[in-house]
Chain A
Amino acid sequence: MAARTRNAPVLSAGKYLAVAFYVAFALFPLYWLLKIALTPERLIYSDGTALWPSTVTLDNFRTVIFASDFLGYFGNSVIVSLTTAAATSMIAAAAGYAFSRFAFRGKRWVVVLMLLTQMFPLLMIIAPIYKIVASLGMLNSLTSLIVVYTAFNIPFATFLMQSFFDGIPKDLEEAAMIDGCTRFQALRKVILPLTLPGLAATLGFVFTAAWSELLFALMLINSNDAMTFPVGLLTFVSKFSVDWGQMMAAGVLALIPSCLFFLFIQRYLVQGLTSGAVKG
């Protein structure tokens, strides 16, 4: 007993050290991003791997915001990501509810087909997708990206939503229906408020996926007006040089919407909302 009490501080210090090490490891690339973004152009190579910039400047940010098309890319990305997240989550919620609550003919086949779509490497289907989008005359449009992203995210988002619906006892809906609700009312008044954490998680997942997608955006978008931010980042790479400072500044700016988005949904991500519904 005595030995344990003596060991306890050492043990917990060790635990904190391990966590601190992990956090440092995970956040270091982000720090490096910020550091280079703040380093003046001429010092990037001379500073090299020094952990701290010798001079700090906001020039890179100024250039990116005022002297490049970055804000345009940014706007495009916001439109594409938000619309994709909203559309995917809505469809996935409806599909997930159906999978969770109803038995219907062909359910297994639909599930198998949806899983199948997740098995192909994107590279394999990018050419056919290009062909389809081209013949629809939708190249260089944000709509094409939204449609493609939504289609590719629906299966996973559906399974995600289904598992959240599965976690809500069926009794609750039945109680609501006996209390006088139609199935839709029960869904809206009882089930939906309880699925908010799941919905938030799905929205966040799809938003980030769409926000950072490069492959399709690169293939389907050529014109500067419709470029999303990941494609836009590549414009900092020119034939003879790479504008590291500006590229990193753009990267830092691109983190902001993601952070804001998660800040907004994080209160719905709190677990345990359904506790107390039924005997646990």
Chain B
Amino acid sequence: MAEMELKSVRKAYGRVEVLRDIDLTIGDGEFVVLVGPSGCGKSTLLRMIAGLEPITGGEFSIGGRCMNDVAPRDRDIAMVFQSYALYPHMSVERNMGFSMEIRREPTARRKGPVAEAAKTLGLDRLLDRFPKALSGGQRQRVAMGRAIVRDPKAFLFDEPLSNLDAALRVEMRLEIARLHQRLGSTMVYVTHDQVEAMTLADRIVVLNAGDIQQVGTPLDLYERPENLFVAQFIGSPNMNVMDAAPGQGGLILGSGAVLAGPEDARHVGIRPEHIEIVEGGGDVTAEAQVVERLGSDTNIYTEVKDIGPLLVRVSGNIALSPGDKVHLRFPPGKVHFFDAGGRAIRAARDKVQ
């Protein structure tokens, strides 16, 4: 069993609190992604799980056993570093089999697992090379191979793809997803890239400034963000947020448009892909400023008088050029409401019940 449990875990450097009261349970075999902007404490949290960073307060356990004072080597985990951290003076083969070498497994016994991991990662021809003779993607694979050969209870990934180019990143992302399907091990993955988070995770943990903002499945976070931060962090392009004030008939936007919604809402959010372009009427009228044609989609950067910029994304191609006036409709079920403190209003009601 590799269930991990964090109970009000804290981290502070001197008086600076980096993480506050983190409560999180990671199920056996679950793929959890820690995501957040840089400096939010996600890497620190991962390093605490790995045992590379002491835990200031609270309790962390793996499989029910308290790990607070257990050395990294005894936690039975493997980690893939952002920098790959390959041993430069060892061949690929020795790099991958290093954990077995440390366990004093005889050379003959090491061959099997190393060869098997190398085969699945397409490294079988590179076993005699040294890290400096490998490309970035190959180094990344060796780092993953080393983790696989370690045969741990849990894998930790610290922004493993951020040094790769875009095409390779997509490829390795797939590789990691396959690895998780094949091994079924617990995996904790840190990234600042929300696309990686959405595609890989069983559950996403959104962190900001040392606090957990929300924990949920990718679709949960997309459809039911609990606060403004999560709403704007998850989803690409970002959610549009407009200020609102209570008034006659519902909520009044800056432009004077009226929307039906809870009266304590101060912010209204709608995702670019949910805004509809209509022939006439609609909720607001906007002027298109920049039109990006991606082929599959079109991004229209618009400006609404007294509201500000609004991004609209429509599927396929549409005939529109900068300067055109468009009527936009916000479908009622797709609009998110947030109170003055930025908390989602639906979430607040759920709590009351």
A interface residues (Cβ-Cβ under 8 A, vs B): 169, 171-172, 174-182, 185, 189-190, 193-194, 272-279
Within the assembled complex, what's the spacing in Å between the Cα atoms of A73 and B133? 49
Contacts of B103 in A (CB 8 A): 180
Question: Would you call B83 an interface residue if the criterion is a C-beta within 8 Å of the partner chain's C-beta atoms?
Answer: yes
Instruction: Tell me if A179 and B131 are in contact (CB < 8 A).
Output: no
Q: Are B89 and A175 touching (Cβ within 8 A)? A: no
C-alpha spacing A182/B98, complex, angstroms: 13
User: What are 28 A-B pairs with beta-carbon distances under 8 A?
Assistant: A171-B81, A171-B83, A172-B87, A175-B85, A175-B87, A176-B87, A177-B52, A177-B71, A177-B73, A178-B51, A178-B52, A178-B73, A178-B78, A178-B79, A179-B98, A179-B99, A179-B150, A180-B103, A180-B150, A273-B89, A274-B88, A275-B88, A276-B88, A277-B84, A277-B87, A278-B84, A279-B83, A279-B139
Given contacts A181-B73, A275-B88, 12 further A-B contacts (CB under 8 A): A172-B87, A174-B50, A177-B73, A178-B72, A178-B78, A182-B73, A276-B132, A278-B85, A279-B84, A279-B136, A279-B139, A279-B163
> B72 to chain A: which residues have CB within 8 Å?
174, 177-178
Number of chain B residues whose Cβ lies closer than 8 Å to a Cβ of chain A: 32
Bound together, the chains give a CA A273 to CA B81 distance in angstroms of 20
Chain B: minimal CB distance from A82 (Å): 27
Interface residues of B (CB under 8 A from A): 50-52, 71-73, 77-79, 81-89, 98-99, 102-103, 130-134, 136, 139, 146, 150, 163
Task: Please tell me if the beta carbons of A273 and B88 are within 8 angstroms of each other in the complex.
Answer: yes
| Cα A179 to Cα B72 with chains together (Å) | 8
CB distance from A30 to the nearest CB of B (A): 36
How close is A100's CB to chain B, nearest CB, in angstroms? 16
| CB closest residue in chain B, given A274 | B88
Report the nearest A residue to B103, measured CB to CB: A180
Q: Are B102 and A276 in contact (CB under 8 A)?
A: no
* A193 pairs with B89, CB closer than 8 A: yes
A185 adjacent to B102 (CB under 8 Å): yes
* The residue from B52, B77, B78, B88 contacting A194, defined by CB atoms under 8 A apart: B88
Contact residue among B71, B84, B88, B136 (Cβ-Cβ distance under 8 Å from A182): B71
**Which residues of chain B come closer than 8 Å to A274, judged between CB atoms?**
88
- For B130, list chain A residues within 8 Å (CB): 276
Chain A residues with CB below 8 A from B131, complex form: 276-277
CA distance A150 to B309 in the complex (A): 70
Q: How far is the CA of A48 from the CA of B71 in the complex (A)?
A: 73
Q: How far is the CA of A172 from the CA of B143 in the complex (A)?
A: 11
CB-based contact A276/B86 at 8 Å: yes
Closest CB in chain B relative to A271 CB, distance in Å: 12
Shortest 5 CB-CB distances between A and B: which pairs? Answer: A276-B132, A278-B83, A276-B131, A171-B85, A175-B85
B71, B82, B83, B132: the one within 8 Å of A275 (CB): B132
Contacts of A279 in B (CB 8 A): 82-84, 136, 139, 163
Contacts of A190 in B (CB 8 A): 87
